[in-house]
Amino acid sequence: MRETNIFKLIHAIEQINNENIIRFTKAFPYPLGISPILVLAELNSNGFQKQVELANTLGYTNGAMTNIATKLVHLGLAEKSSDEHDRRATKLKITPAGEKALSEAQTIGKELFMQHFEVLTEEEINQYLSIQEKLLKHKDKKTT
20, with CB counted inside 10 A (0-12, 13-18, 19+), is middle
Q: What is the pLDDT of residue 57?
A: 95
Amino acid at 109: G
83 falls in which pLDDT band (50, 70, 90)? low
Half-sphere exposure of 53 (CA within 13 A, CB side): 13
Least confident of 38-52, 55-69, 83-97: 83-97
Distance CA 111, CA 106 (A): 9
SS3 state of residue 144: coil
| For range 27-42, the mean pLDDT | 95
Strand partners, 81: 91
Distance CA 126, CA 63 (A): 41
On the question of pLDDT at 130 being above 70, the answer is: yes
On the question of pLDDT at 97 being above 70, the answer is: yes
| For range 46-52, the mean pLDDT | 92
Distance CA 59, CA 81 (A): 22
Strand partners, 94: 78
71 falls in which pLDDT band (50, 70, 90)? very high
Look at domain 2-143 and name its CATH class.
Answer: mainly alpha
The structural domains of the chain, with segments of one domain joined by +, span 2-143
